[in-house]
Structure 1
Amino acid sequence: MTESGESFAKLIGEEAWAEIDDAWVEAVAARPGEVTRHAGVLQQLVAAGRERQAAELFEVLDEQLVEAALWEPRLALLREAGRLASGDRPSFEAFAEKVGLFRAPDVVPRTWEKVERLLALLAFDVGTVVEMQGRGVGRIVEVNLALESLRIDLERQPGLVVGFRAASRLLRTLPAGHFLRRKLETPEELQELAAADPPALLGLLLAGSERPLTAGEIKEALAGLVDEKRWTSWWASARKHPQVITGGGGRQTYHWAASSAAALSALRAEFEAAAPRERLDLLRRHASRDEAFTRGMAAGIAAHATAEREHDPALAFESWFALERAGVLQPDLGWTIDDLIGAPADPRRLLAGLEDRILRERALAMIRERRADWVEIYRDALAKEADPRVLGFLTEALRSVAPAERERFLEELLNQPRRNPAAFVWFVEQAAEEAELRARNPLRLLQQLLASLRDGAFTPFRSRLAAMIESGGTLPRLLSALSEEQAAQALALLERDHALADYQRAPLLNALTLRFPALREGAESGLLYVTPEALAARREELQRLTQVEIPANRKAIEEARAHGDLRENFEYKAARERHEYLNARVAALHRDLGRARPLDPATIDASEVRIGTRVTLRDREGNERRLTILGPWDSRPEEGIVSYESDLAKRLLGGTVGSVVPVGESELTIIGIVPYR
């Protein structure tokens, strides 16, 4: 057998793949240094669709070159392989020059470090289609070797620049035929498929995915292909295909089986290996897939529930209703639901094991119907319940029948919230809507709410508690339920509590002092007099900050955080600095607006110089000038409007027509006083 290129071409044409392997071993052993000829054979194999075989033969040649210490031919092999991999695009030479691949080839370790870097760069050549998590798909349109960066036109962000070092971490190359690449290059074909055959389009997406996808990820991937208005009906049709398999866990996922039979076989294996409650989930999701498969699942679930009924009544209860919901509950189980709930059974064990909120409420309703001691059972359930809806269900049931039990529970929450943090948070949230709860002991509730913000036991509920401090929440509404005496104590609490940020504290203090004006006594010197226009401008600024800029800043922080490595994340640091500035500005506006008093020109007494008057002054030479005295928000000295806090205004205040006011080495005489407008 000769190892000439013509002989290999003949073998490839005859598809004699095994003979090619033998001929290759002989050829590279005899002439390992003829890299160009060997690379030509590999290229023919790739063109014939034998990429895997070409890769294996490449490794055989590379091993032969290493064994013979032929480093120069080995680098030449790499050059040829690079051209092959890059489709003879000019970027290979540019990238190779950039990494210095062919400089100092005798330094072998450094050379192969350059090789690794070159291969990483070749993956991101001009024209390569890439995906960036969270930003969609796009195409590399420019490689800037001087700046070591790529410019990418993404669907959602054209012109995005990514550095070479970050490219491998942020970008994923998409091969030809990949669904997302087809969506970019030939969207019309996929749109036609979406309309004609929904399961086929879904199968195309799932079959090409490296992992199961959630419904949200599927919807995002199909955006632009499926009309948003038709999504619900389209999705219902597409996911019913027998080859679509749903997966459980924290979020339901979907993947594609090779055939309907393969899907059913995979589901049977999954059911056999599943834990008892996972089997219930499989029954719920696949009860309508295949009648025989459903009967088999039902038999297995019923048998296990019967065997474990005494040990795990909650599982038996869940199994009963899962079978009933699927329409496969058999009448000959040998036990009924009453055996789990009615006397002499203790339903407390059942309630403790029911994690599903709806089933827990259903069990509680059945307990009330079937047991005379349901009040005691409800009382015990309250002490352990964490779900706000179930807590509402329990307390509402006790309100009319056993009000004393409800009162005792609410009083314990108010006095010892750490015993049941989840229930206390529910109490706080309910108090925002129910005046009766706020009136029980408003100062005590305010104290406990502020304390919970600092207490580690309430960490899982921090966001819910924070919402209760904002406008419309429980804490602002509590202020109107306070007595005069309690208001003074509340003021002291709010002023010194470290759990509140300044921007949260300021509106609360303002609301409290507006409700109880006596709290302002002794602080009138702190009032801020402003024109109605300046007051409106500050209120508009506050509204813009709280409703537009702060939400936008929060979004910017989350987007910057998603880029990772916060230590070197300029966008994140800038967004955090902006966050601190905005919060400080909002707090200052709240504080100033709380002491602002608008000026009314119609009520200003011009018998003497006051805040809100325009004064005409004459100096010794007879020159006249006019000054308007307003607040710091309206001060514009260049226009003759000065703040009443300025030294000049303080000298003029209280003066009357004819008064002489010393100003430096000169004197000014007041010759006229009128309201500022």
Structure 2
Amino acid sequence: MHPDVAKLVEAGRIPKPVGERLTQLSPGNFCVHKSWGAGKVVDWDLPSKKVVIDFERSAAQTMELQFAFQKTEWIPAEDFRAKKVEQLEELRALAKKDPVELIVHLLDSHGGTMTGDALEKELSGAVIAPDDFKKWWESAKKALRESRRVVVPQKRTEALVLRGGDRTPAQQLVADFEAARDLKGMIKALEAIASDIGAFANDQDALRQLLTDIDEAARKSSRVQLGLSLQLLAARDEVVGTAKALELDPSAVRISDLLQTVDAQKLAEEVGPLPSNRQRAIFEAYPAAFGNEWVDRIVQVFDRVGARGVTEIARILVEKKELLALGRHLRSAIARRALGPDALIWICRERNGSAIEVFSPEVGASILNLLENDHLSDGPRKTSRLQTLLTEDKQLLGDLVSLMDINEARNFARRMLECPVFADLEKKSLMARVIKAKPDTAELVSGESKKREEDLLVSWDSLERKKAELDDIIRVRIPQNTKDISIAREYGDLRENFEYKSAKDYQKFLGNRKAELQKEISRARGTDFKGSDASAVNIGTVVTFTDGNGKEVVYSVLGAWDSDPEKSYLSYLSELGASFLGLKPGDTVEARDLTTDEKQTLTVRSIAAFNP
């Protein structure tokens, strides 16, 4: 303890723990500040409770002792950060002469572990010139792996780990695996083993014991943690593949064994979040799992597994020359409007390649259908990437429309103009691409389309529901959300405050929904549908069709917000409702069954005014 501080403790003026902490801030000692970096205490004035510290990023800072107590942390003189303050040139020389020793020293000063990003922040600019760092780091990583004194991960965001003690590198890697408390820890340890498999050149027995432990962990966890169990087995197989003398026991659990125990939906949910390389290893096990049925099985997962999975499955099917089976599945799913956004994105991106046989006008209708349904549903949006692709890929709309006849193009363009997902400027931009491909659609941006934009025909009941929702948002949900934000703000650091982020996200949703409702209500014109013209299918008419088997099918074409599949009520803005408008008795039309979503040919038998 510093002599001056010891006197204060002996006199009973400060407690001993305070004296020990105060001694750490005595002149000549080192400390670290979160913003200013490492520093050396150059002077203090105990009576006035002041301390002067030279920081690496802010020299000669005079601080209140209490503030210094709270905002700084003591570090020993041999700490790497302390040496940056007083022995910077020595560190620079060491970086050139022995980068491994420099990094070992740095890791040792940070508890033995540090991410690549944190390491660069500590070295670049001070010890190593920023322009030279990338080249230096690549050379240093190679030297680190050869020395085996440090575990160097493949990913930049993962931590480097200093190996210590008397263990060999192989023993340390095995110890890391054995110390893992869960599957995630085991997977991370296996990845480190795979990246440093040379350490086991003379110690294959240690790896063989690991295989037994992995097998047991995968079997126990597969029911409740299927995704991680599959990832563990994929990491194990990577180790076995890189260790030439290592083979799996015939009784060991394989990825293919676990695939046989789960349905497509469950598998997609578990595998979707995994990294691409792990997903590929899992999908490559399908032939072993399902034999001749593997293609039929894997395509069931295709449109459920997320963007990474879609890409990997498609690559495997291309390599195995099974693309025709994928095409059949996709065409069927598109016809049923059952394809998800990730699969549609893949089709659009591969429209001139692997998906050329699938890319059709139906893809455009499926895209708009997904965007509209997602817009109307509660919860987070699932089609943002799909919408972004449609707007940013300048050729996509033109390629779609060029496959349509003029009537299909007009219907598609009309539906796009009425889609609530797109802003007005966005619609103009998209429509310009459609017109470029099909000039005859230009009439849709004339006065007729403007009138359709201004007037929205709705039933009185649906209009009242919209007004009630708007009133609830303004009078109840927005005020409550404001209170929730205020309460959440008091929970602490906003950067890691989940409640605050959730409340702010909900605030954004409410604001957007309020503006949307206000716009829709301002355009709405209420009606009871009395006196509707029944000479042809119009808004407010009931249409009786006969299908190909002579069975009667009845639909009511009503207002913009009146869709009700259970009652066969259609909005005149919906794809089906819009296709009926203008039909007369005897006319035929291709339509989708609301229950099965299958295409059918309908013939208009009679038309009557809707009677509410």
Which of the five TM-score ranges fits, normalised by the shorter chain? 0.5 to 0.7
- If you compute each CA radius of gyration, which structure gives the higher value, 1 or 2? 1
1:179 maps to 2:85? no
Residue in structure 1 matching 2:443, options 518, 521, 527: 518
Are residues 413 and 198 of structure 1, via their aligned partners in 2, closer, same or farther at CA, if it must alter by over 3 Å? farther
1:236 maps to 2:123? no
Are residues 94 and 426 of structure 1, via their aligned partners in 2, closer, same or farther at CA, if it must alter by over 3 Å? farther
Contact 2:151 2:162 in 1 (8 A): yes
Match of 1:299 in 2: 209
Match of 1:382 in 2: 302
Match of 1:138 in 2: 57
Matches within 5 A, 1:255-654: 255-261=161-167, 266-274=172-180, 277-278=186-187, 280-291=190-201, 293-302=203-212, 305=215, 319-330=236-247, 333-334=249-250, 348-349=260-261, 352=267, 356-364=278-286, 371-382=291-302, 385-386=305-306, 387-393=309-315, 396=318, 403=324, 406-413=327-334, 415-417=336-338, 420=340, 422-431=342-351, 436-451=357-372, 454=375, 459=380, 464-472=385-393, 476-477=397-398, 478-502=400-424, 504-515=426-437, 516-522=441-447, 564=495
Kindly, what percent of the aligned residue pairs are identical? 16
Are residues 311 and 43 of structure 1, via their aligned partners in 2, closer, same or farther at CA, if it must alter by over 3 Å? closer
Between the aligned partners of 2:20 and 2:285, the Cα distance in structure 1 is: 72
RMSD between aligned alpha carbons? 5.5
Deviations 1:95-135 (A, max 9, x none): 64xxxxxxxxxxxxxxxxxxxxxxxxx5xx55432xxxxxx
Contact 1:206 1:213 in 2 (8 A): yes
Are residues 191 and 79 of structure 1, via their aligned partners in 2, closer, same or farther at CA, if it must alter by over 3 Å? closer
SS for the counterpart of 1:188 is: helix
Contact 1:468 1:474 in 2 (8 A): no
Between the aligned partners of 2:105 and 2:403, the Cα distance in structure 1 is: 62
Deviations 1:623-673 (A, max 9, x none): xxxxxxxxxxxxxxxxxxxxxxxxxxxxxxxxxxxxxxxxxxxxxxxxxxx
Deviation at 1:482, TM superposition (A): 4.6
Match of 2:501 in 1: none
SS for the counterpart of 1:213 is: strand
Deviation at 1:193, TM superposition (A): 0.9
SS for the counterpart of 1:261 is: coil
Between the aligned partners of 1:247 and 1:404, the Cα distance in structure 2 is: 39
Between the aligned partners of 1:79 and 1:283, the Cα distance in structure 2 is: 47
Contact 2:255 2:285 in 1 (8 A): no
Letter in 1 for 2:144: A
Deviation at 1:296, TM superposition (A): 1.2
Letter in 2 for 1:376: D
1:218 maps to 2:119? yes
Contact 2:414 2:444 in 1 (8 A): no
Between the aligned partners of 1:84 and 1:308, the Cα distance in structure 2 is: 50
Between the aligned partners of 2:240 and 2:449, the Cα distance in structure 1 is: 72
Between the aligned partners of 2:294 and 2:99, the Cα distance in structure 1 is: 51
SS for the counterpart of 1:139 is: coil
Between the aligned partners of 2:140 and 2:357, the Cα distance in structure 1 is: 48
SS for the counterpart of 2:393 is: coil
Between the aligned partners of 2:418 and 2:316, the Cα distance in structure 1 is: 37
Letter in 1 for 2:392: S
Between the aligned partners of 1:306 and 1:79, the Cα distance in structure 2 is: 54
1:128 maps to 2:57? no
Letter in 2 for 1:212: T
Contact 1:283 1:322 in 2 (8 A): yes
User: Which stretches in structure 1 are left out of the alignment for 5+ residues?
Assistant: 1-41, 47-53, 66-72, 97-121, 130-136, 146-163, 526-561, 567-572, 574-579, 581-677
Match of 2:103 in 1: 202
Contact 1:246 1:255 in 2 (8 A): yes
Between the aligned partners of 1:393 and 1:490, the Cα distance in structure 2 is: 31
Deviation at 1:320, TM superposition (A): 4.7
Deviation at 1:292, TM superposition (A): 5.6
Between the aligned partners of 2:20 and 2:207, the Cα distance in structure 1 is: 58
Contact 1:212 1:255 in 2 (8 A): yes
Deviations 1:315-341 (A, max 9, x none): 66764553232223248x34599x986
Between the aligned partners of 1:95 and 1:453, the Cα distance in structure 2 is: 65
Letter in 2 for 1:390: E
SS for the counterpart of 1:409 is: helix
Between the aligned partners of 1:247 and 1:565, the Cα distance in structure 2 is: 26
TM-score by length of structure 2 reads 0.52
Contact 1:323 1:329 in 2 (8 A): yes
Deviation at 1:58, TM superposition (A): 7.0
Between the aligned partners of 1:507 and 1:166, the Cα distance in structure 2 is: 58
Are residues 329 and 483 of structure 1, via their aligned partners in 2, closer, same or farther at CA, if it must alter by over 3 Å? same
| Structure possessing the higher relative contact order (Cα contacts under 8 Å, 6 or more residues apart) | 2
Deviation at 1:206, TM superposition (A): 0.5
SS for the counterpart of 1:234 is: helix
Deviation at 1:214, TM superposition (A): 1.8
Deviation at 1:444, TM superposition (A): 0.7
Q: Between 311-320 and 433-442, report the one with greater CA deviation.
A: 311-320
SS for the counterpart of 1:255 is: strand
SS for the counterpart of 2:198 is: coil
Contact 2:153 2:159 in 1 (8 A): yes
Between the aligned partners of 2:57 and 2:138, the Cα distance in structure 1 is: 28
Contact 1:83 1:89 in 2 (8 A): no
Deviation at 1:203, TM superposition (A): 0.5
Are residues 514 and 328 of structure 1, via their aligned partners in 2, closer, same or farther at CA, if it must alter by over 3 Å? same
Contact 1:298 1:323 in 2 (8 A): no
Contact 2:53 2:59 in 1 (8 A): yes
Deviation at 1:310, TM superposition (A): 11
Deviation at 1:201, TM superposition (A): 0.7
Are residues 259 and 199 of structure 1, via their aligned partners in 2, closer, same or farther at CA, if it must alter by over 3 Å? farther
Matches within 5 A, 1:48-63: 61=10
Are residues 74 and 234 of structure 1, via their aligned partners in 2, closer, same or farther at CA, if it must alter by over 3 Å? closer
SS for the counterpart of 1:269 is: helix
Deviation at 1:509, TM superposition (A): 3.2
SS for the counterpart of 1:426 is: helix
Deviations 1:197-253 (A, max 9, x none): 121011111011146212233233332445333432222112443332457999531
Contact 1:442 1:481 in 2 (8 A): no
Between the aligned partners of 2:335 and 2:68, the Cα distance in structure 1 is: 53
Match of 1:253 in 2: 159
SS for the counterpart of 2:2 is: helix
Contact 2:107 2:113 in 1 (8 A): yes
Between the aligned partners of 2:19 and 2:45, the Cα distance in structure 1 is: 8
Contact 1:86 1:92 in 2 (8 A): no
Between the aligned partners of 1:486 and 1:300, the Cα distance in structure 2 is: 61
User: Which stretches in structure 2 are left out of the alignment for 5+ residues?
Assistant: 28-40, 223-228, 451-492, 498-503, 505-510, 512-612
